[in-house]
With several copies, the nearest count.
Chain A
Amino acid sequence: MATISTVRIQSEPFDVAAEAVKITRGRTDAGAVVTFTGICRGDENGEPIAALTLEHYPGMAETEIESHVAEAAARWPLIGVTVIHRYGRLVPGEDIMMVVTVSSHRAAAFEAADFLMDYLKTRAPFWKQVEKAGATTWVEAKAEDDAAAERWTTGKPEAAE
């Protein structure tokens, strides 16, 4: 199945509903649309956050995300996948990133979105800086997130068989 895939890294906000419609418009084979939106929270471990700044490696980030999108499209029967990731300074309540997956059936759309989310939230080529009480610190990679991402490294999902 040819999967319509789009990856964008941008500083501007995105419109997740509009991105979903770009995939589904005018077709009748799409039965399930899953969207995930990651939002900048106002606190981390109980401490208030003033802002989050995301840095990326232009060129490399797109390529890396595209290769994971291609992997999702190979594992699950997807009609379309869109990933948009923002960079720059984001304040609490602002959207950080989004994933849309569209498939004929819900299991494929769900599992592919979960797979991409685990990757994007843990190993995507971004570095995060948190502003708290005037101090700015770089976020370190979390072991917990890595464990979630590792679920995908062994075997194939049921839906792909």
Chain B
Amino acid sequence: MSRTLKVRYFAWVRERIGKTDEDVDVPDSVVTVADLVTFLTARGEEYAYAFENPKVIRAAIDRKHVKPQTALGQATEIAFFPPMTGG
């Protein structure tokens, strides 16, 4: 079983992965945000590079900040990005 999640990337996470966003088939074994990072990391070198230091990666589900241990739940969109720096 799996479902499709829209995943968006910003700043250097976007640059390293080489995409602004993509639809990802996420297996049911992926429960939390941290699980998704692990799952994505296994997809290829560009993902491994983007997520090489998970501590500095921030995530938002449906445009709200979430923690690594947050469950994906009914999310339709998840975004990964570095800490925000302001204007």
Contact = CB atoms under 8 A, between A and B. Distances in A.
Indicate whether A and B are direct neighbours in the complex (CB within 8 Å). yes
Interface of A: 38, 54-55, 57, 59-60, 63, 85-86, 96-97, 119-129, 138-142, 145
B85 interface: yes
A142 B60 CA distance: 21
Which 8 A-B residue pairings sit nearest by Cβ, starting from the closest? Answer: A127-B11, A60-B63, A97-B87, A141-B83, A121-B86, A122-B86, A124-B86, A128-B85
Interface of B: 8, 10-12, 60, 63-64, 79, 81-87
A121 B11 contact: no
B35 to A, nearest CB: 22
By secondary structure, the A interface counts as mixed
B4 to A, nearest CB: 20
B13 to A, nearest CB: 9
Given A60-B63, A122-B85, A129-B11, 11 more contacts: A38-B87, A57-B8, A57-B63, A59-B63, A60-B64, A96-B87, A120-B87, A123-B86, A127-B81, A128-B85, A141-B85
A71 B81 CA distance: 25
B87 A121 contact: yes
B63 A127 contact: no
Contacts of A119: 86
